[in-house]
Copies of this chain bind each other. A is one copy, B any other.
Amino acid sequence: MRPTVHDIAAAAGVSLATVDRVLNQRPGVRLVTREKVEEAIRQIGYIRDVAAANLAKGRVYPLVFIVPTGDNSFMHGLRFEVNQAILRASIERTDIRVVEVPAFDVPALVAALDALQGQDIAGVALVATDAPEVRAAVGRLVSERIPVVTLVSDLTDSARHHYAGIDNIAAGRTAARLLGRFLGGHDGDITVLAGSMLVRDHRERLQGFSAVMAQEFPKLRLLPVLEGRDDPERTQSLISRALSENKNIIGIYSLGAGNRGLIAALKAVRPERELTVVVHELTQHTRTALLDGTIDAVLNQDAGHEVRSAIRVMKATADGQAVIADQERIRLDIFLKDNLP
């Protein structure tokens, strides 16, 4: 049987009340006594029964998710997963609130973060926009001892406790190698399609992609990045024009959202033109396109895993508990036609 508070009391030769004072850092314990108790805790290897403690405290974890508005399917999926988590809220003793903030709107994000100051909150998860003001606002929350987790998009050099998302540089590198290898030793041009170069994840993906391309596939030339702004129509016309103007394009890397337009453009040139295409985010559209051969590989991050991981980490951080690091590593999923879930 695992040791309880009673065992500590007995081992330390003090009363239960004193043990409780030490465990919950309440005042009124002499230093020597406190040390005696802490020694006993270590000696007998006491571990607090979190479930029982939460029961006694009536503990709930008020969590806040700050997610961008915007209608690209990835963010839709993310909000869907947060809503799924809300359905499990009572079981998991969480109380999840969602705050929507316009995408890329730094002042709005900062305002949303600052509005949480002083509130009784067990954790904040945010899709970060990488700006100094956001970094500062996160710092203010952290200094108030509020656990902060970045979700999907990280914040460089910030005080955030954890990042629940993929390594975007590695994702870009992986895309480059897939595309490079799939194209064999062929010669030609590669088009990169991004949502916007203002987003950190897109910049990082491009950075990784370019690095591997330059280093390992010198026969493939990178064309200037096209910015589709996650807009299907704009994307479609950009790609269509690029393809008709440049017959040397043999590969496409789409590192952002807005793949619907890309797929439409591809279908238009499809039987004649041979193209190898790697895209990000598994959606209904990309899944279908992968199955019918319009695209060749999909890189994905599992929004459900990210949300659940963020919740676990926020709760653990709030309790000062350790997390299973390996379990919380968000993996880059590579989907080919054959291993779709």
A contact residues vs B (CB 8 Å cutoff): 2, 47, 49-52, 54-55, 88, 90-91, 167, 170-171, 173-174, 176-178, 181-186, 208, 212, 296, 304-305, 308, 324, 326-327, 329, 331-334, 336-339, 341
Contact = CB atoms under 8 A, between A and B. Distances in A.
A177 B337 contact: yes
Contact of A304 (B182, B327, B337): B327
A336 B90 CA distance: 41
Nearest to A178: B336
Contact of A331 (B55, B184, B341): B341
A308 B327 contact: yes
A54 B331 CA distance: 33
Nearest to A52: B55
A215 to B, nearest CB: 11
B52 A339 contact: no
Contact of A332 (B167, B208, B327, B339): B339
10 contacts: A51-B51, A174-B338, A177-B336, A178-B336, A183-B184, A184-B186, A305-B327, A308-B327, A331-B333, A334-B339
Given A51-B52, A171-B339, A184-B184, 14 more contacts: A2-B90, A47-B91, A88-B324, A170-B338, A177-B336, A177-B338, A178-B336, A183-B184, A184-B185, A208-B338, A212-B338, A305-B327, A331-B331, A331-B341
